[in-house]
Structure 1
Amino acid sequence: MDNIHDKTPRETVGRETTNRFRMQFQAAAFAALEILRGKGVDRVYCDYHDDFVVRCSVDGLIEYHFFQVKTKGRANQQWKVDEVFSLKKNKKLDTEEKLAAVRNSIAGKLFIHTIEFGGHCREVTVLSNVHFQDDVYEVRDHLACGKSNRAYIAELINKFGEIFAPGLSLSEEQLAAARSKLTLLQVSYIGETLEPFADAARNAIWKHSEIDLRKEEVDEIASSLVALVEAKSCAPIAGLTKEEIDVIAGVGLDDILQVLSISTTVYKTLLNGGDPSAVKAASILQRQLKSAGASDSMIETASRAKVSWDIWLRKGRHAFPEFDLELLLNDIDNRCKGWVLSGGALAELRIKIDEVLNSKLAEKFPTLTVELLLGGFCASIVRRAAR
C-alpha cells in the first residue's frame, strides 16, 4: 500500500484558506489591543464591511479605518501592481471589463469605502505579511498627490471617479481626499504560528497599558484574543440591530478586559475615580489580591477603597502637614512591602492595616478608617508594581 505522503494531495486550498483566515484574525486581534490606550480607538469590527474595521472617536466624530489582509505563503514573495490594483502598465483602461477589474481589485474594494463613507472613512489599508514592490508604492504615492508621469497611473487618476463613484457628482477635492487615504502595511506579527503574534501582543499590551506579563500569561492571552476575533468573525448578524452588531461582531474594551482577566467593574471604578492608568492599576490589584485569596467582590471593594484613598490624599495634602503625610505614606509602603514579601495572605493584610491605624502617627489623621487604609495599601501595591 502506498504511503499517504507519496501521493500529491488532490486539494490543499482548505489548508491555505485556514492559514489566511488565521492571519486575518491575528491582525484584527492586534489592532484591537489599541483600545487599551483609551485614546480614539474604541471598537474593532471583525469580518464586517471588510476583513476588519477599526472605529475611532475623535472629538466626538466617528471615523473608520478599513483593512484588507492579504498574505502570501513565502516571505520572499512581494505584491505586484497588477495584483493590488489590477493595472497593466502597457494597457489602457478602455473597456468596462478593465474598469470593473480595477474596481474589484484589492485596493479598489478599499477605495469604494472612501467614497461610500466619505469623511467618516479615516484610512484604508492593505496589510500583509510580505513586502510590496516599489511600483505599488509609486502608484499609491502618485494617487495621493494627484498627478503622475506614468501614463497608466495618470489614467487611473483621471478615471478615478468613473471607476469608484459612477453616477455621483463628486468635487475634485472629494476625489483627491478619497485617493489619498490608501496605505500599505507590511507586518511581522501575523503568521502560521502564534509565536510572532504573542511576542507583538505582549509589547503592545505593555505599550498601551504598561501591564507586564509572564510568557505563559502572554501565550494564553494571545490564543484567547485570536479565538475571540474568530468567534466575532463567524457569528451570524442577519437581522440584528446596530447595537447588537456592535456586541456580536465587534471587539470592545469589555472584551479585551475579559481576556486580560481584568474586572470591568474594577476598571471603571478606578477610571471614574480619576486614575489615568486604570487598566494597569486594575490588573495589578486583581493579580495581587487574587493571589492573596480575595474574592471578586472583595477586589471590587478594594478598588473603591483605593478611589476613596486617592481623593482623601488629594484633600489631605492641603489639610495636613506635608511631612506627616510623607511619614504616613512611607509607613504604609514599608508595611505593604513586608506583607508582600511575607507571602501576601489576606488575613495578614488586615493586621498590617490595624497596625497603621493604631500607631501614634495615625493619631495625627483623625479621619483615617480601615476602609481608607485598605485603599492606601492598594495604592501602595500599584506603586510598587509600577516601579
Structure 2
Amino acid sequence: MACVCSTLLALLLSAPSGAASPVPWQVAAAGAPPAWPTADGAGVVVAVVDSGVDADHPDLAGAVLPGRSYVDADPGAEPRLLALGSDEDPVYERAFGQADPVGHGTAVASLIAARPVGGRPGMAPAAEILPVRVLDDENRYHDSSMVGAAVRWAVDNGADVVNLSLGGHYDSAPFAEAVAYAERHDVVVVACTGNLKPDDAGADGAGGEEEVWFPARIDTVLAVTGTDREGERWRTAVAGEGTDLAAPGAELTAADAAGGHRTVTGTSFAAAIVSGAAALVRSAHPDWTAAQVRRALTSTAHPAGAGLGAGIVDAAAAVAADPPPAEVSASVPAVWSAAATAAGGGLLGLGALLLRGRRRFGVRARTMTG
C-alpha cells in the first residue's frame, strides 16, 4: 500500500465570479508568467497518474484527453464504465480517467494546466492532460506493478511528461522498470518526495527527516519537495539527499472535483508545479531530450535553503536557458546503457530521434490503445 504526497482538504473556496482573479501565487512564484509569451505548454501532453481528473471542471474545459482507469471499482461485477478504447479485460479498467471521486488528480491537473478563462491558470495553460487513474476511493494504490503498467500506457499514448504525485517507502522492480521505459522513450518523469506525518515533523518542522520516497529517489526522476510562500521548506515536506528541486507546495489554490476551488498542501502539488514547468520547457524546445529538460530545470533554479536540491524552480529561466548537455551517465539506466552497447549506439540514437519526431510532429496517439 502506498500514499499520495498531499494533505488535500484544507479549505473549500467558492468558484470565481465576475472579473478574473490574479494569477495564483504559486504560478507567479514558480516563474511561469514571464515564460508564457514564448511557451504556454501547447503541443505537450502531461500524464497525471493519479485518482482521475474531472474533465467537466470549468478550469480544465478542453484540457483533458480520454484516459484510462486501472482501478477495479467493483470486483466480480460487470465493468461500470470502460476507458475509451480499452478492452474489457483486465478488471482494473472500470471507469473513465475523466472522473475523479477523490479530487486529488483534479487538483494536480489544474495546477499543471488550468485554462486562464477562470482566472486561475496553471503553470502550462495550453498543455493537455492525459488522466490515468490508479488511486482508489481512499486515495491509495495497493499494487505498484499496476502503477508501473499505467506509466507504460501513458508513455505509449503520447505523454511527454508523467506526473507521479504518489509514492511510498519501498522500491518496486516493475514500477522502476516502467520509469526506465519512460526514460528510453524520452519522457520526463516528475514525482513528489513525500510528506512527514505532522507528529514527526516537530514544532519547527526540523524533526523526523526520512528518505525521499520511491519512485522519486530514482535517478532519472525529478524529485520535488515543497516550500511555503516565503520559499522555506514546508514543515511536513520530505527533503534532503535525493531531492532535485523545490516548488510551492503549501496552501495552493486548485480546482475541486466537487466544484469551485480548494486549498491544498503537500509535495504532491509541488510536483505538479514542476511538471507544469517541464511542459513549458518541452513546448519551447521540442527537440530537447528528457535529460536536457531536467538539466534546464535544475540548473536555472533559484538557490534556496538546505535540503531543497538545486533550489526553487524558475520556469521562465528554464525556458530561456541555452541547450544544456545531456549527461548520459546520470540519465540513462544501466540496463539501457548495456543494451545500447550491445545493439550499437548509432542505431539507438537514430531510434530516439525518430521517436521524438513522431511524438512531437506526427502521431501522438489520440485513439487510446487497450
Query: TM-score band (shorter)?
Result: under 0.3
Structure with higher strand content: 2
TM-score under structure 1 length normalisation = 0.27
Greater fraction helix = 1
- Larger radius of gyration between Structure 1 and Structure 2: 1
Q: Which has the higher contact order (CA 8 A, sep 6+)?
A: 2
Compute the TM-score of the two structures, normalised by the length of structure 2.
0.28
